[in-house]
Amino acid sequence: MYYEIREIKSRSLQINLEDGKVEKPKYSEFEGKSFRVLKNGFWGYFVGDVNDEDGIKKAERLAIIEGDADVDEKPFSGKLFYKEKKPFDEVDVEDKIKILREIDYYLKENVISRKIVYIETVKEVTIRNSSGGEVTFRVPRCGVIMQAFAKGKTLQFYSDRILKVGGLEVIEKAHEKASEVSEIAVKLSNADAPPSGIMNVVMNPSLTGVFIHEAFGHGVEADHVLQNATVLKDMRGKKVAADCVNVYDDPTIPEFGFFPFDDEGYKAERKVIIEGGYLRNFLNTRETAKKLGGVAGNARAENLAVPIVRMSNTFIDSGDYTLEELLSDAEVILFGSRGGETNPATGYFHFNAQFGYIVEKGEMTKMIRDVSLSGHTLEILKDIKLGKEIEFNPGFCGKAGQIVPVADGGPFALVKALVGGS
Amino acid sequence: MEWEIYKEKVLIKEVTVENGKIKLISEKTDRGVGVRVISDGRVGFASGSDEKRVMEKALEISKISEESLSSFAFPEKIKKVKTFDKRVNQIDESDLKDFGEILAQDNVASAQFSVEIVEREISNSNGIDLRECESYISVMVEAIYDKGSAYEFQDARRLFDPEPFVERALELAKIDSKAEKLESGFYTVTLSPIAINQLLSNTLYPAFYYENIKRGRSRINEIKELSKVSLIDNPLIDFGLNSCSFDDEGVASRKTVLVEKGVVKGYLSDLKGEKSTGNGFRDGYDSYPSTAPTNIVIEFEEKGEPEGIYIHSFIGSHTSNYVSGDFSVEIMNAVHDGKGIKGAMIYGNIYEFLNKISHIGREKRQVGFTLTPEIVFENVRIL
């Protein structure tokens, strides 16, 4: 019998500055324990406020069937407390609000409504297992989400966010981004509806990041492979992208998806997903790694939910093209993401950009709004061209009802895809 | 100082199926408390497990708050609605195993069946002291057939047989495995209740929230006519998925007419608005109440059969622009003349799109916030 005990202690502070007013300030604390038992190849899982012995017994009682599950039991030991530069409890809440007011000063230009959401969380996790592993880690995360609403020809909103692992140093330069947010919202309210059809599209780094996360990342999650639910299931070792394409998942980079150990207590490390256009690895939990022959370390859970295969900081590495070179072949350029969704089983993905421009003879001309991009995982990477510098953007990724912090990265990239608009 | 204490106790039992086999049985318990205070006119909120500590933290954070609220809810007459199916009390791991066996079929990639019991309690310094017990039963099935895939789900307050939902997912996945590209053009389409809920929850419902209207984040006041459709928020339907006798602020539930035959009549609000409509809900004990619909009932005079392309669900509806009403969504599991369609998109603006309704179906199903039959739209451009 294999078992794991996971204990979480977390606290968080959220403050909204909405149209200049401090609204819905909230302080939360959470403590809890989960117990997971693998017996006769079947999982029992119990969450509740009980001692270790009772917890394991309760989980064991739920493992009433025989199954074929097995795990890589490798134990890890260690403590890792992420060292932030400016810890949350060394700054008064009044001073945190001052930072938000400064951001608001730049955000309020010419907009009809605006909102800043400030988030700080500190999460401490201890995971012990039956093979003798015991890890403890503490990760602080901080950031602001800025939103501006503007009215011109249409009513529009634009938002941007800075979210990272760390303390208050994360938002030190947030005010520099705030003017850009209000400017874009105002311009967007007078922008036109986009054209539609299959086009050459340049994606900005944040859109390229979402794209690699949605169109590819979900397809290499090994639980999807075992469920026959990804078009990439038989593609390991095969060419799936142009030679220039290299894709990684790296939880050790200090971005929003950072973690030193995963939620099964397995040591985090960089995973090569695509190298030179060849699919190299899937992302694994202890169970999928054992079944498919890979390395575990990508099991994550929202609080005390069952850990499942998740991404961390996923990125497509840089290429050789300048932005000018990419634009010379493009019909539109799209910026930012309002979110996306993919069906790994079929390979169809869809996401919405926040805004874009028509490109004529290599020049950005008319601004466009409410534009979406869709295509197929196995086709779109075949003739992608990549820019020279990568940038990470934070986000919250949902899967099986669980939300975890992630970051996606990439350079400017040229692809052929279906652009939606009227 | 005024105070409000919201307590929640949750028990969830669940069976998970992966690749046609039962994989995991789980039981989760959680309880916690959220305290809101009004002190010197300032609102503070904290949550955790220890009521006394949480109250102190709420008071502490209220000092920096500019959130205002005139008062918490006052006691009023509560109309009891049925929200609990006693049969869920008896469900144990061997019942879960039986439900799991219904889901554990070939071509089921993943599936879950769960029963949940929620006890919520709300009390405040105005003398409110309310308690309600709720049950939720859910099934979710993802089926894969060759290169085709589909999902189907159902959530209800009463125990139900999950089998028809497994069958439907398998049927749709099979159709999808032979799906073909559709030629771009204008078509008559029928949206399933799943697709309708996805679209309206992300484009239209937030426009009825008092707070969005007040802050200029809604176009609802400039809309003269919303087709001939009627939308009624009704929390008082016995065993309705989101039915409740009172909301998470302790305000008595009531019916709110949002749109009557195309004319905008009302809005939804929590206590922060001028007048609460009993629509203040929390994501959990650790969150502030905010405006949300309960069961939005859709009515339309002309009734008939599904026609044209039948759309089961959308991908990417959450990326819609709820402020402008613009959306562009990818179609998932659509059927045209018995054949599957793949790689097609619909885009538009919800305020124009609703004018394309020709008729609605006869049998209602609740999905999320929406209680509706299928809706048939004419002249929809598919790309």
Contact (CB<8Å) B328/A45: no
Test mutation, A11, A27, A101, chain B, max B CBs within 10 A: A27
Same domain, B58 and B146: yes
Same domain, B82 and B200: no
CA distance A211 to chain B (A): 13
Contact (CB<8Å) A25/B323: no
Among B177, B193, B213, identify where a domain stops: B177
Same domain, B64 and B84: yes
Closest CA to A64 of A48, A46, A41: A41
Same domain, B122 and B264: no
Contact (CB<8Å) A45/B217: no
A195 at B interface, C-beta within 8 A: no
Chain B hits for A62, Cβ within 8 Å = 25-27, 93
pLDDT of residue A348: 83
pLDDT single digits (tens) A260-314: 999 999 999 999 999 999 999 999 999 999 999 999 999 999 999 999 999 999 9
Contact (CB<8Å) A341/B316: yes
Q: What angle do helix axes A93-107 and A174-188 make, rounded to 10 degrees?
A: 40
| Residue A325, token pair as written in the block | 């070179």
Test mutation, A355, A370, A379, chain B, max B CBs within 10 A: A370
The string of DSSP codes covering B43-84 is EEEEEES-HHHHHHHHHHHHTT-----S--------------
Among B143, B161, B177, identify where a domain stops: B177
A28 → chain B, closest CA residue: B47
pLDDT of residue A40: 96
Mean pLDDT by 10 residues, chain B (383 residues): 97 97 97 97 97 97 95 97 97 97 97 98 98 98 93 98 98 96 94 98 97 90 88 98 98 98 96 95 96 98 97 89 88 94 90 96 97 98 90
pLDDT single digits (tens) A155-164: 888 999 999 9
Contact (CB<8Å) A231/B147: yes
Same domain, B140 and B163: yes
Q: Which of A24, A340, A345 lies closest to B67 in CB terms?
A: A24
Contact (CB<8Å) A155/B318: no
A198 at B interface, C-beta within 8 A: no
A2 at B interface, C-beta within 8 A: no
- How many structural domains comprise chain B? 2
pLDDT of residue A421: 63
A14 at B interface, C-beta within 8 A: no
Q: Report the CATH number that the domain containing residue B79 is assigned in CATH.
A: 3.30.2290.10
A152 at B interface, C-beta within 8 A: no
Chain B hits for A24, Cβ within 8 Å = 43, 45, 67, 288
Contact (CB<8Å) A112/B216: yes
Chain mean position to CA B355: 24
CA distance A312 to chain B (A): 22
Same domain, B228 and B281: yes
3-state helix, strand, coil in chain B (%, to 5): 20, 45, 35
Same domain, B136 and B220: no
Q: Which of A28, A228, A346 lies closest to B19 in CB terms?
A: A228
Same domain, B124 and B224: no
Contact (CB<8Å) A25/B319: no
B71 at A interface, C-beta within 8 A: no
B98 at A interface, C-beta within 8 A: no
Q: Is the dihedral of CA B304, B309, B313, B316 positive or negative?
A: negative
The domain of B132 spans 2-177
A233 → chain B, closest CA residue: B147
Test mutation, A49, A153, A227, A338, chain B, max B CBs within 10 A: A227
Q: Which domains does chain A have, with CATH numbers?
A: 2-179 (3.30.2290.10), 197-420 (no CATH)
- Could you tell me the pTM of the whole model? 0.93
Question: Going by C-beta distance under 8 Å and a sequence separation of 6 or more, which residues neighbour residue A303?
Answer: A8, A10, A30, A32
Closest CA to A14 of A124, A138, A143, A102: A143
Q: Can you list the alpha helix ranges (DSSP code H) found in A63-199?
A: 93-107, 174-188
Question: Going by C-beta distance under 8 Å and a sequence separation of 6 or more, which residues neighbour residue A124?
Answer: A8, A9, A10, A136, A137, A138
CA distance A35 to chain B (A): 10
Chain A hits for B24, Cβ within 8 Å = 42-45, 306
Question: Whose structure tokens read 């039915």?
Answer: B243
Among B158, B177, B196, identify where a domain stops: B177
B61 at A interface, C-beta within 8 A: yes
| Residue B97, token pair as written in the block | 């195993």
CA distance B35 to chain A (A): 10
Question: Going by C-beta distance under 8 Å and a sequence separation of 6 or more, which residues neighbour residue A130?
Answer: A1, A2, A3, A4, A73
Same domain, B376 and B263: yes
Question: What residues does B118 pair with on adjacent strands?
Answer: B10, B134
Mean pLDDT by 10 residues, chain A (422 residues): 98 97 97 98 97 98 95 97 97 96 95 96 98 98 96 90 98 95 95 91 95 90 93 94 96 98 98 97 98 96 97 98 97 89 83 93 94 86 94 93 96 93 56
pLDDT of residue B286: 96
Q: What is the distance between the alpha carbons of residues A56 and A52, in angstroms, rounded to a whole number?
A: 6
The half-sphere exposure of A383 on its side-chain side, counting CA atoms within 13 A, is 6
Same domain, B172 and B184: no
Same domain, B96 and B68: yes
Q: What is the distance between the alpha carbons of residues B161 and B169, in angstroms, rounded to a whole number?
A: 14
B280 at A interface, C-beta within 8 A: no
**Is-contact A300 A294, C-beta < 8 A?**
no
Torsion (CA) A212, A215, A221, A226 in degrees, nearest 10: -160
Q: Which of A64, A149, A343 lies closest to B217 in CB terms?
A: A149
Same domain, B62 and B91: yes
Q: What is the DSSP letter of B89?
A: G
pLDDT of residue A214: 85
